[in-house]
Amino acid sequence: TGKCYHTFRGHSAEIVCLSFNPQSTLLATGSMDTTAKLWDLEKGEEVATLNGHSAEIIALSFNTTGDRIITGSFDHTVAVWDVGTGREQNLLIKMPKNNNAAVSSKAAMQRCCLCVQLWDAVTGAHIATLAGHSKEVLDVCFDYPGQRIATASADGSARVYNAGTKQCIAKLEGHEDEISKVS
């Protein structure tokens, strides 16, 4: 119908990322104001504000059970939050400067120029490096079951990796310019 049900206001700067909770009516937003917010889609109201990052939140995602959310920030950290309480559970990764975070419900991923660093979201242990692009990796995500990882690059290609073997299983080429998002 095109009807707008709710307009959510509360961030003091641009919203740069969002994620729907797969198990409830919650929506999470990440902002340049260094906070993430949880919103109830049915009631149209803010449920919680997640404070803890010292710089912009650039990526966020719920886990598949919907009880945790992971955020990545320009402060070079990835944090895990309890959805029920809105409290930070742990700081997963302190990343080197000049790298961006891409996060998923399965693991935390660090984009580093031409590769993706894969980290265990519970322990923070490094799992693998996914390489193959000739220019910067701009986005990365898992498929819903967590069996594949897709990457988008400034080289105009996307790649799909087997999450178990960490091997590239598909090279998707044909764009004339960069691919900035993958889902």
pLDDT at 94: 56
Q: Using the 8-state DSSP alphabet, how is residue 132 labeled?
A: -
Percent of the chain with pLDDT over 70: 87
pLDDT at 93: 61
User: Per residue in 132-169, pLDDT tens?
Assistant: 999 988 888 888 888 999 999 999 999 999 999 999 99
Query: In degrees rounded to 5, what are phi and psi of residue 155?
Result: -80, 0
* Final residue before a domain boundary, out of 131, 152, 169: 131
User: How many beta carbons lie within 10 A of that of residue 33, not counting itself?
Assistant: 17
Tell me which residue range forms the domain holding 60: 1-131
pLDDT at 56 exceeding the cut of 90: yes
Domain count, the chain: 2
Token pair belonging to 139: 């986005």
CB 152 within 8 A of CB 109: no
Same domain, 4 and 17: yes
Length of the chain: 183
Q: How confident is the model at residue 64 (pLDDT cuts 50, 70, 90)?
A: confident
Between residues 125 and 85, which one has the greater pLDDT? Answer: 85
Same domain, 15 and 73: yes
Same domain, 12 and 49: yes
Among 5-19, 62-76, 93-107, 158-172, the least confident range: 93-107
Give the CATH number, domain containing residue 8. Answer: 2.130.10.10
User: Per residue in 91-130, pLDDT tens?
Assistant: 766 554 444 444 444 444 544 467 888 877 777 778 899 9
CB 139 within 8 A of CB 119: no
Rounded to the nearest integer, the mean pLDDT of the chain is: 85
What does the alpha-carbon distance between residue 51 and residue 130 come to, in Å, rounded to a whole number? Answer: 31
pTM exceeds 0.75 for this model: no
Q: What does the pLDDT average to over 73-93?
A: 85
What does the alpha-carbon distance between residue 59 and residue 11 come to, in Å, rounded to a whole number? Answer: 15
Same domain, 122 and 147: no
Same domain, 121 and 152: no
pLDDT at 119: 78
pLDDT at 100: 46
